[in-house]
Chain A
Amino acid sequence: EVQLVQSGAEVKKPGESLKISCKGSGYSFTSYWIGWVRQMPGKGLEWMGIIYPGDSDTRYSPSFQGQVTISADKSISTAYLQWSSLKASDTAMYYCARFMELVGTGYYFDYWGQGTLVTVSS
């Protein structure tokens, strides 16, 4: 059974750094892209970016390029989303999800984590 288990809720102050995680199991972690989606309070889904753990190839949405860092440690089947200096506007639920990308078919999230709530407040 494919599972993505995310780290717990975080409460941080503006300017602090943060790294949240997403551990995959039940499939070959290095053979599928994994991505992150932001959902601000009461708002819609936003596609942030994806990483291929096999070779760490990473793609970012233009809206998030330079704002966050996506990484992965294939030895422990875990993907990460990282901020170097949080802002209040980073307050949101963040979901990780497995991303299907196959020539001729694909480009969608098929399995999702449970979400990590990040609250940034002074």
Chain B
Amino acid sequence: QSALTQPASVSGSPGQSITISCTGTSSDVGGYNYVSWYQQHPGKAPKLMIYDVSNRPSGVSNRFSGSKSGNTASLTISGLQAEDEADYYCSSYTSSSTNVFGTGTKVTVL
């Protein structure tokens, strides 16, 4: 199975909103409402930010939101802050009963 496609980089100024896309197929993103998003700061373990397309775990800021349309899922970060600068990865359940990660997106706060 191929990695889900994400833009390599996205940037924004403090206070702005940015959106990261995650494109798959009908065998993964499009076929299930089981997309999750992870934040990874340099040298750190990933952290779950969104699960089941749009649900936030306890403790995650409501500035992070998720959505899905067809074979593409999206993560939106509103009110961008310096601490949001990190790598972000999407992941989806697949028809093979496994999961697959996206290619990753580096978010830069200008």
Contacts and interface: CB of A to CB of B under 8 A. Distances in A.
B72 interface: no
Contact of B89 (A44, A106, A112): A44
Contacts, number: 71
B91 A108 contact: yes
A95 B72 CA distance: 27
B69 interface: no
Contacts of B103: 44
Contacts of B40: 45
Contacts of A114: 45
A32 interface: no
Contacts of A97: 46
B101 A59 contact: no
Size range of the chain A interface in the assembly? 20 to 34
Nearest to B87: A44
Contacts of B98: 47, 49-50, 59-62
Interface of B: 1, 3, 32, 34, 36, 38, 40, 45-48, 51-52, 55, 57, 87, 89, 91, 93, 96-104
Contacts of B87: 44
Contacts of A95: 45-46
A45 B1 contact: no
Given A62-B1, A107-B36, A110-B57, A46 B96 contact: no
A61 B101 CA distance: 11
